[in-house]
Amino acid sequence: MTKLFKNSKIGKLQLKNKIIMAPMCMYKSDNSGEIKQFHHYHYVSRALGGVGLIIVEATAVEARGRISNNDLGLWSDEQIKKHKKLNKKMHFFGAKTAIQIAHAGRKSEVVDSTPIAPSAIAFSTKNPYKIPVEATLNDILEIKNHFIDAAIRARKANYDAIELHAAHGYFLCEFLSPLTNKREDVYGGSLENRCRLVIEIAKDIKEKVKLPLIVRISANEWMSNGWSVEDSIYLSKELEKIGVDAIHVSSGGNQEKPDASPKIEPLYQSEFAKSIKASINIPVIAVGLITTSKDAEYLLENEYCDFVAFGRALLRNPNLAYEMASDLYEMDIIKSSYKRAY
């Protein structure tokens, strides 16, 4: 059997293959933050199409933590019921599920609130971005509790795992970077201090929720004096120590105009994943313009990663897993109803 279709685990969670649907914002909710009919068709079709683990899009832990007014939320117990219904359908078709819990920080575009961040530094001077308020220690404690409460709600909604969003320039990512975190308290300054909040939240979730926990990071923020791969290795090692089950390796997103951007091409982030994988003993998920079965298998065979996350490719084709199974001569993977297509 090819590596892509081998049964594998993240923590104690057994997955039927190494194909992961990356969390991608769909902006199809409304100010309620609730699951809509769109989400059922969108996610369940990928479960039917053979994806091993579906990570539901960035879901805000509080209303002002949304990226937009159309983001999903899990800040209220009232939102649990519809997430639970969605999970039931995805599970029916054999997928395992996770949800990415998130806070947009200074990148929030919500029209009726003021964003909050580690420091009062705007992401951009252009609309719709606003100058955020600098979080007090009480604010930080409150937001930390929002993350933990959202994780507890995710468990009640029957998600199989949780992904903590600490990438792409959102609230937790902003704490990590010396360019967006100018604090002089225990959450700012040294690398250890800047990593403190992510580690504290991850530790609390592991202790209180008892689900496999993935942490998504931007391995490099593409700035000459910013967050680096070496910093990411340090953070990943610390997260492993407290029981985090996997690291999901992306990059960028924290700066409007990065000065050291890589060429955006297939597998452009995979070297970051490989560097982190070589430094830790928990699974690493690679993501970033991985679109073919050949590339996915190459990454797994050459130990760049342990799982492969697909984004745009799964937007184009909900049956991507079956197409890849056909490419790799794994015809037994394909549901009988679809075999005639291959």
Bridge partners of 102, per DSSP, are 60
Rg, the chain, Cα only: 19
pLDDT at 1: 85
For the chain, the straight-line distance linking the first and the last C-alpha, in angstroms and rounded, comes to 18
DSSP 8-class letter at 262: P
On the 0-12 / 13-18 / 19+ scale of CB atoms within 10 A, 91 is middle
- Strand pairing class (8-10; 13-15): antiparallel
The residues of the chain scoring below 50 in pLDDT are none
Q: What is the pTM of this model?
A: 0.97
Q: Compute CA distances 25 → 7, 64, 136, 256, whole Å.
A: 28, 16, 29, 19
Q: Within 10 A of 337 (CB to CB), how many other CB atoms are there?
A: 8
Q: How far is residue 102's CA from residue 109's CA, in Å, rounded to a whole number? A: 14
pLDDT at 19: 98
Placement of tokens 């809509």 in the chain: 36
Placement of tokens 């100010």 in the chain: 31
pLDDT in tens, 131-173: 999 999 999 999 999 999 999 999 999 999 999 999 999 999 9
pLDDT at 309: 98
* Phi-psi region at 168: left, alpha or beta (left = phi > 0; alpha = psi -120 to 50): left
